[in-house]
Amino acid sequence: MKISFFAQVKRTAKIYKKGFLVSWKNAKAFYQTALLDITLRTIKPYISLWFSALLLDELLGNRDWNRLIFFASVIVLSECILSLIIHYLNMRWDSENYFFYRADEFLFLKKLFHMDYADIENIDVRNLYTEVREASYAVENHNLLALRNHIIYSWSYIVDLVISLWMLTGFVTQVSFPLWTWIVIIAIYVICNRFSIKGMSKAGIIWKEYNKNIVPFCRARDALYSYLIDYQSGKNLRIYQGEQLAIHNLAHWHTQNDIAIDKRASDTMHTILPFTVLPLFFSTASTQIFIALAGLAGSISIGSITKYVTCISKVSNSFLNLANVLTAMRYNADYLEKYFRFLDLPNTMYQGSLPVEKRHDNEFVIEFQHVSFRYPKTDKDVLKDINLTFHVGEKMAIVGMNGSGKTTFIKLLCRLYDPTEGVILLNGIDIRKFDYQEYLSLFSIVFQDFHIFSFPLGENVAANQTVDREQAIEALKKAGLEEFLEKLPNGLDTLLYTDFDKHGIQPSGGEAQKIALARAVYKNAPYVLLDEPTAALDPVAEFEIYSRFQEIVGDRTTVFISHRLSSCRFCKDIAVFHEGRLVQRGSHEELITQEDGKYYELWNAQAQYYSKESSVHAS
């Protein structure tokens, strides 16, 4: 629905006010430095212009050496002093600019860390986040960076306009042309500049609309380029000889982007030339002729002619630039609206306040009572009427086919999501009533899609800058990384990967998985949740982990998910999930005798592949 001009102005002003308050709060020093810098830059040429006109008039007139020296000294000293100050402020601007970017990054990181996990997995929220970040770092920046630039340059144009108009008052008071000539020249100036401003605004609208259309091309091009320069994609490209396909698609998106840019430039030029450049040229030429005639009539001095001609041009340019900025502000308001829509996403998950009881005996009993769950914006239950209790110290394995709800069960257990129906209890109390961060502290988790950071090994294990070195070494040994640790050049201080340091080491997939396991051991939480913790390990390493599993997790309650049923036999309690339901529960020996059960079906489907392995485990 199209909204009126005044409604657009009101909306833009409201959004810009909110954006400026956020921006000012995070980068107050930047604005102080930048506004002072831009003010001095704007004033500086006027000082030279004013005193140069006086100097020229003095040279053509009395030639008083004292006045000539004074005017020349003012020009030189003001140029030197202001240049030094501006140079210093420019260096400060560059420094504060970094903090501005950092504040913007931290604003989003803080939001990401504290928003509901359900929103992080929500595809609409992720698309919104992608749009917002792309707009912030596009060639034509939007959001807070654009807001910042609009404020700074608007201030520059306003200062320019005020000083120029003030200096032109001298022309009005000095010239004694008939009234009708003033009416004619003002009418020409106003009408022509009205056309120029309208043409510039229209060109700005065309430019912004085309930019919106170009964004999808840029997104596809940049995503494909990022994939192609990632060294991990090299294997697939070479094995499947996909370089021609990749280059063809990259060229396609480049071509689409180029066509759109050429079309944008063409349509903008067709608007700017007749409706902006020509009226501006005509208004400037007519006013300059008017000023020149005033000079010939003897109403103003030769030096003043240069001064007033320059001021007239600056007034026109200031109005034109302000119109362009106002158009850009209107469009940037659309981006800022999305920006704040993301940052203002409410946390709908209930945040409890009860402290979790500190128990040295780890007597934490968790119970699922008639728990069902469906993901947001879906109508199918992923888990259905789950009733299950974790007894203290229990080692439970959860098995089932893909899509049976195993990982979703873990997400509910550590409260990344809340149940759609039913309740989860901790020592008889609804887990939603507990302080969220304290509840999370009960769990050490190794997810199937775990992540190892490009930080030192010790910080990866501790998940903290402060590392208990003895505890970290012990955790790495329990995870089977004793030899790996001994070979590292700097022990726990060895940087992983080469993202930040060319001397970083590249752990293998199995070593990375063991580091993730060591991180879970280091945390020493009463509950250990392991989602396919040995998927990247070779059979020997996997057997080593399972043979020492009791040593690794100790007496802590452990939930273990695996597709390989042979890996679950060390657990006396096995829960079998199928199509979101808990269909069986018992030991391997009990479940394998139930020939009509799901576990028997799964076991026999895999038995031919690990029959030898199972005999090793049994021995």
The structure tokens 């810009």 sit at 16
Within 10 A of 437 (CB to CB), how many other CB atoms are there? 9
Quick check: 47 pLDDT over 50? yes
| Average pLDDT score over residue span 517-532 | 89
High-pLDDT (> 70) share of the chain, %: 92
How far is it, in rounded angstroms, from Cα 582 to Cα 595?
17
Quick check: 570 pLDDT over 70? yes
- Top pLDDT among 501 and 589 is at 589
CA dihedral (139, 143, 149, 153) positive or negative:
positive
Residue range 240-256, pLDDT digits in tens = 777 788 788 888 877 87
Quick check: 362 pLDDT over 80? no
Angstrom distances, CA of residue 346 to CA of 144, 151, 490: 21, 29, 44
How far is it, in rounded angstroms, from Cα 619 to Cα 136?
61
Residues 6+ apart with CB under 8 A from 251: none
High-pLDDT (> 90) share of the chain, %: 28
Helices (H), 115-178: 117-121, 123-136, 143-174
| Average pLDDT score over residue span 559-578 | 83
What is residue 619's predicted lDDT score, i.e. its pLDDT? 39
Whether residue 572 contacts residue 395, with contact meaning beta carbons closer than 8 Å, is answered with yes
Least reliable range by pLDDT among 25-39, 273-287, 566-580: 273-287
Residue 282 has which token pair? 């005509």
Residues 6+ apart with CB under 8 A from 14: none
Residue range 436-451, pLDDT digits in tens = 888 998 999 888 888 8
Q: What is the mean pLDDT of the chain?
A: 84
Quick check: 610 pLDDT over 60? no
How far is it, in rounded angstroms, from Cα 383 to Cα 388?
12
In DSSP notation, 68-112 reads: HHHHHHHHHHHHHHHHHHHHHHHHHHHHHHHHHHHHHHHHHHHHH
What is residue 613's predicted lDDT score, i.e. its pLDDT? 45
Residue range 271-322, pLDDT digits in tens = 666 767 777 777 878 888 888 888 888 788 888 888 888 888 888 888 888 8
- Top pLDDT among 4 and 556 is at 556
The model's pTM: 0.76
Quick check: 196 pLDDT over 80? no
Helices (H), 273-426: 278-296, 302-343, 406-413
Reduced 3-state DSSP string for 24-67: HHHCHHHHHHHHHHHHHHHHHHHHHHHHHHHHHHHHHCCCCHHH
How far is it, in rounded angstroms, from Cα 518 to Cα 217?
43
How far is it, in rounded angstroms, from Cα 410 to Cα 394?
16
- The string over 259-298, giving b where at least 16 C-beta atoms fall within 10 Å of a residue's C-beta and e elsewhere, is ebeeebeeebeebbeebbeebbebbbebbbebbeebbeee
| Average pLDDT score over residue span 60-89 | 90
Phi/psi of residue 82, nearest 5 degrees? -65, -35
Phi/psi of residue 260, nearest 5 degrees? -65, -40
Quick check: 3 pLDDT over 90? no
Phi/psi of residue 581, nearest 5 degrees? -115, 150
Within 10 A of 254 (CB to CB), how many other CB atoms are there? 15
Helices (H) and strands (E) in the chain, counts: 21, 10
- The string over 193-232, giving b where at least 16 C-beta atoms fall within 10 Å of a residue's C-beta and e elsewhere, is bebbbebbbbbbebbbebbeebeebbebbeebeeebeeee
* 361 pLDDT tier (thresholds 50, 70, 90): low
Residue range 539-548, pLDDT digits in tens = 777 777 776 7
Residue 496 has which token pair? 């992983």
Count the alpha carbons within 13 Å of 466 in the hemisphere toward its beta carbon: 1
- Top pLDDT among 539 and 476 is at 476
Phi/psi of residue 375, nearest 5 degrees? -70, 150
What is residue 220's predicted lDDT score, i.e. its pLDDT? 76
Q: Are strands 581-586 and 573-578 parallel, antiparallel or unpaired?
A: antiparallel
Angstrom distances, CA of residue 595 to CA of 317, 372, 563, 590, 592: 86, 28, 19, 10, 7
How far is it, in rounded angstroms, from Cα 100 to Cα 31?
10
E strand intervals along 374-454: 383-390, 395-400, 421-426, 429-430, 443-446
| Average pLDDT score over residue span 186-201 | 77
What is residue 91's predicted lDDT score, i.e. its pLDDT? 87
Quick check: 612 pLDDT over 50? no
* 385 pLDDT tier (thresholds 50, 70, 90): very high
